[in-house]
Amino acid sequence: MDDRRLVKVSKYLSRHLRHDPQRLGIELDEQGWVDVDVLLAALARQNFRLTREELDEVVERNDKRRYVIRDGRIRASQGHTVDVDLALEPVEPPAELFHGTAEGYLDAIRAEGLKAMARHDVHLSPDYATAVRVGSRRGRPVVLVVDAGRMAAEGHVFYRSENGVWLTESVPAWAIAFPD
């Protein structure tokens, strides 16, 4: 599969496995899973042809490891706006985590911290380079350093999704180091 098709399929899956499964005519279980065969049949009904081999390739080659296939089922690793419980266990975070964003959001973040918005959780990166890539999606990237150790000490709960993205309900402004 060429890279262009890989991106197209990945975005299509993201839309339906994270945000709008009913538009495709599928139903996610309470943890966000759907049978692979059910997904492929639903895609075919929408004239979006995808073989099982192509689906496996998209899951394997996605640079962000957005999807997981297990026991004949597939789900998005995180980022849902639909109501799911990923059944992740709380994990002690490293001292620092990172959040990539665009310059235009800095004033709001300084005032209110990081909020989940339409998603279930705030997404944090384990390293600076990943945060740069995430922040680049919406313009010139800015990387914020989050004092995850202090947050955890003060009772904030962290989770780590299967693809290594750190999740927490919100990040207060006091826990964010802003660039000069």
Question: What's 139's domain CATH number?
Answer: 3.20.170.30
pLDDT given at position 59: 94
* Domain termination site, one of 27, 42, 76: 76
pLDDT given at position 99: 96
* Domain termination site, one of 48, 76, 104: 76
Q: What share of the chain is helix, strand, coil (3-state, %, to 5)?
A: 40, 25, 40
pLDDT given at position 86: 86
Q: Is residue 84 part of a domain?
A: no
Parent domain of 140: 96-177
Q: Are residues 71 and 108 in the same domain?
A: no
pLDDT given at position 12: 95
pLDDT-above-90 percentage for the chain: 77
Q: H or E element: which one contains 128?
A: helix 128-135
pLDDT given at position 175: 98
In angstroms, rounded to a whole number, what is the distance separating the alpha carbons of residues 107 and 154? 25
Ramachandran category for residue 164: left, alpha or beta (phi over 0 → left; psi -120 to 50 → alpha): left
Q: Residues 123, 159: contact at Cβ < 8 Å? A: no
Q: Are residues 118 and 163 in the same domain?
A: yes
Q: What is the pLDDT of residues 119-147, one digit of tens each?
A: 789 999 999 999 999 888 888 899 999 99
Average pLDDT of the chain is: 93
Q: Are residues 72 and 107 in the same domain?
A: no
Q: What is the pLDDT of residues 60-109, one digit of tens each?
A: 998 778 899 999 999 998 888 888 888 899 999 999 999 999 988 999 99
Tokens 């990923």 belong to residue: 86
Q: What is the C-alpha R_g of the chain?
A: 17
DSSP-assigned states of every residue in 131-150: HHHHHGGGSSEEEEEEEHHH
